[in-house]
Structure 1
């Protein structure tokens, strides 16, 4: 009992210190720090977007789900928060064009060196504050979960011009209060039994049809929920 309490206390202290460390940083500074400090994978010598982008039990069913959709449509795709492109690399050949966007310049530079195709390009943008390019389909995989609600609202307001939207979020397993606010840092709402649901307050996204994929995370706990929205 004491050992369990001490472990929880240690975890809470670590999370509190991490929040303080990122408290006064801009979004760009925060994500640059996350990659520089390898917050999502300290064992990797390369730029790494974390286990959610590399764990096969989570990535392979997701890739199959999205690929099935893209094969039927041949769309112009916008990947917001493309990260190290470990997953996106499976999609661009199925698209008419594919644009990966990230706020971290070093991530974009690395992707441009590692991946080349006439259908593919990368761009360094702040998806919260910058204008977004035109496309048919937007992919946002485990990005919103790191942002505050104000930033998420600003992003979602820009997405109604896209016909298809594929959102993935790491959420608790079971009942939980959605969309509890947080600051921008490496932590996600799962830490306090919450998660992003863009269909609920304060976001309330409007859509025509949706299709879901739900995967259990055996390492970190919770679920990885992907929703394919047809907006219009």
Structure 2
């Protein structure tokens, strides 16, 4: 059997002295590939060492051999066998190392790590958003029922998340939209539709500059709550699935950070319906710069922004046609921006 000299064992199996040194460039010390390489190399070396009965005085335990290096100096091996055994042992360890090394992935770059973190953060509804065409009602009902976006479940609170409650985002939006409505409809003779109205924290601050205001959402418990809290002669609420249902009539439709949660297939079903309105005022969460890849397809409930993308209705695959458009507002929000754009459709 092949005998393995101590210095060869030390060279190829001591993780912190030999194997680790080339590894950091390609993998992490606590990664599974690293553990696989080291454990396999150590196991092979130990097995070989255990069978080296012709080396008198050497221990059969690899770790003990390493610890007792001074007690078992390398010169105890006969000079005639030393070169041949060393060469064979080195070749065997090299074979093991190279074979396993091919399967070690390169460590993630800073961008890759960021993308991985974004993807983890993008799992808005674990175990629910499993398919791109998952019913929006199921996904968003789950969000509200579990208070995933905030609110105290024990107190029966409904919360549409920071996009509807962060004053740094909400206050500028309310101010800009109120001014926009007053400019476009000076006599206030306007019926507004709020698609995806959520808990109505934003809509309630806009409705008084309109003649009539309809809040629509796919989640029944949200609509029931809003009817009790905010319903009046000029404000009504309806359960509407914007993807599958006909949309209520209105002059202008507001869709604030809703399409960013829908798959491309679902958005494609919504867009033709928007042409029934004079204006569609749409807000989307986008990356800081305009050089992002738009309209990455996602599963219902996720957010394109978390994948370094954003919803651009004028780009592929939507190519939405409109008569004119204008940017109403753009607000910096964390690592991105929330842009509100008004699209006009000639009637």
Q: TM-score, normalised by structure 1?
A: 0.89
Residue 90 (1) aligns with residue 90 (2): no
Which structure has more strand as a fraction of its residues? 1
Indicate the residue corresponding to 1:81 in structure 2.
196
Deviation for aligned residue 1:119: 0.9
Q: Is the 8 A contact 2:213 2:236 kept in 1?
A: yes
**Of residues 204, 210, 214 in structure 2, which corresponds to 1:99?**
214
Count matched residues.
227
1:144 pairs with 2:251: no
SS at match of 2:172: helix
2:128 and 2:240 map into 1 onto residues whose CA distance is: 24
Q: Is 1:170 the counterpart of 2:279 in the alignment?
A: no
Indicate the residue corresponding to 1:182 in structure 2: 298
Query: Which residue of 307, 324, 327 corresponds with 1:209?
Result: 324
Matched, 1:63 2:174: yes
Whether the 8 Å contact between 1:166 and 1:228 is mirrored in structure 2 is: yes
Match of 2:342 in 1: 228
What displacement does 1:8 show?
7.7
The answer to whether the Cα contact below 8 Å between 1:78 and 1:137 also exists between their aligned partners in 2 is yes
Q: 1:65: Cα distance to partner?
A: 1.0
Select 1:113's aligned residue among 220, 228, 235.
228
Query: Judging changes above 3 Å, is the alpha-carbon distance between structure 1 residues 10 and 136 closer, same or farther for their aligned structure 2 residues?
Result: closer
Q: Distance in 1 between matches of 2:295 and 2:116?
A: 25
Higher-helix-fraction structure: 2
- Maintained 8 Å contact 1:19/1:183: no
SS of equivalent to 2:294 = coil
**Which residue of structure 2 aligns with residue 38 of structure 1?**
147
Hey, what's the Cα distance between the residues in 1 that align with 2:338 and 2:124?
26
Higher relative contact order (CA 8 A, sep 6+): 1
Cα offsets for 1:181-232 (capped at 9, x unmatched): 01102x20111100001111111122222221111003xx211010012222
The corresponding residue for 1:22 is 129
Q: Which moved more, 1:195-204 or 1:20-29?
A: 20-29
Give the aligned partner of residue 272 of structure 2: 157
Closer/same/farther in 2, CA of residues 17 and 50 from structure 1, 3 Å limit: closer
Q: How far, CA to CA, are the matches of 1:17 and 1:56 in structure 2?
A: 22
Contact 2:193–2:254, Cα closer than 8 Å, also in 1: yes
Q: What is the CA RMSD across the aligned residues, in angstroms?
A: 2.3
Structure 1 unaligned residues grouped into runs of 5+: none
Structure 1 residues 208 and 142: alpha-carbon distance in aligned structure 2, compared to 1, 3 A threshold: same
**Superposed displacement of residue 41, structure 1:** 2.0
Q: Tell me: CA distance 1:130–1:32, structure 2 relative to 1, closer, same or farther (3 Å).
A: same
- Partner residue, 1:50: 161
Contact 1:148 1:184 in 2 (8 A): yes
CA contact (8 A) 2:217 2:239 kept: yes
Distance 1:98 1:52 in 2: 21
> Runs of 5+ in structure 2 lacking a partner?
1-27, 29-109
